[in-house]
Amino acid sequence: MKYKNSKEYMGSNKRLWNEMTPIHVKSDTYAVDEFKKGKDSLHCVEIEEVGDVTGKALLHLQCHFGLDSLSWARRGAKVTGVDFSDKAISFAKNLSNEIEVNADFICSNICELDKQLKGDFDIVYTSYGVLAWLPDIAEWARIVSHFVKPGGFFYIVEFHPFSHVFADENVQDLKVHYPYFQGKQPLYFPPGPTYADKNSHLENPSYEWQHTIGDIVTSLIDHGLSIKFLHEFPFSVYEGLPFLVKGDDGLWYLPDGREDIPLLFSLKAHKEET
């Protein structure tokens, strides 16, 4: 679906992410100092499901300021990271040089990436909090497929769109607050703190889009990818809902052992060799 004023929405979001990046770099959430000392920023789900990346060309879409990109590079991948925030890409390049881990970083709107980047990749990868910033999921899928080489695969691990409908702190009475299906306009969120620092004060609002599991899967199939698996999980890697409880494994769960709703999903899609 095409949205009126998409460029204005994306411009506002870019200003927001430029504003958030220096806050995130200093936040405990991202723990950059620990990362510089060798801590891996990746989580158990993607490490297990992506598998060995040694010698593989990996394109990381919406890479923010590069921690996960550089974590994959430390694991042996030849990484190219992409983000629309120029401040994030600038920091990613500086961090790459500082820790002496090679990776390429490109500042680009995802849906215009084929105008700036040539070639294809063994793995196209994206994760955690990325899809809500995309107004056109079909165009996103086109870009994904464009950069997956024949015989390669696309992988995403993401917060489950069903978990986005809730904004109720009472877990005993979960209520639908936001729509599961995207309407004619994006959701508007006024300026507030960033998720990585609850004491921060941002000046820019955000505009976000809701993409259903059906939209995501169908758009990838429509652009020539074959779904290998779709997994759904009753836990999250982040306290996305205010009533989640952190487990001993570092993951976040509904309290009292409940598994009522999916909090994460992962998907792997292959491109057939020609």
- Is pLDDT at 2 greater than 80 in this prediction? no
Q: What is the pLDDT of residues 242-252, one digit of tens each?
A: 888 999 999 99
> Helix, strand, or coil here: 267?
strand
Q: How far is residue 124 from each of residues 63, 78, 86, 162, 212, measured CA to CA in Å?
A: 12, 12, 21, 24, 21
Q: Where are the alpha helices (DSSP H) in 124-269?
A: 137-147, 213-222
Cβ 76 vs Cβ 55: under 8 Å: yes
Q: What is the pLDDT of residues 104-144, one digit of tens each?
A: 999 999 999 999 999 999 999 999 999 999 999 999 999 99
CA angle 244, 126, 193 (to 5 degrees): 45
pLDDT at 6: 80
CB atoms near residue 212 (< 10 Å): 14
* Residue 157 CB contacts under 8 Å (≥ 6 apart), including other chains: 43, 45, 46, 49, 127, 128, 264, 265, 266
Burial label, 42 (beta-carbon count in 10 A; 0-12, 13-18, 19+): middle
pLDDT at 173: 66
Q: What is the pLDDT of residues 154-213, one digit of tens each?
A: 999 999 999 888 875 555 667 788 889 998 899 999 999 999 998 999 999 999 999 999
* pTM as predicted: 0.95
> Helix, strand, or coil here: 162?
helix
Describe the strand order of the beta sheet including 57-61 as a list of residue ranges. Answer: 104-107, 78-83, 57-61, 121-127, 148-159, 264-270, 226-233
Q: What average pLDDT does this structure show over 26-44?
A: 96
Kindly state the tokens that stand for 163: 């978990």
Q: What average pLDDT does the chain have?
A: 94
Q: What span, in angstroms and rounded, lies between the C-alpha atoms of 105 and 100? A: 14
Give the pLDDT band of residue 234 (cuts 50, 70, 90).
Answer: very high
Give me the architecture of the 6-270 domain, per CATH.
Answer: 3-Layer(aba) Sandwich (3.40)
Q: What span, in angstroms and rounded, lies between the C-alpha atoms of 65 and 67? A: 6
For residue 125, give the amino acid letter: Y
* Residue 47 CB contacts under 8 Å (≥ 6 apart), including other chains: none
| Selection from 67-81, 189-203, 227-241, 247-261 with the highest mean pLDDT | 67-81
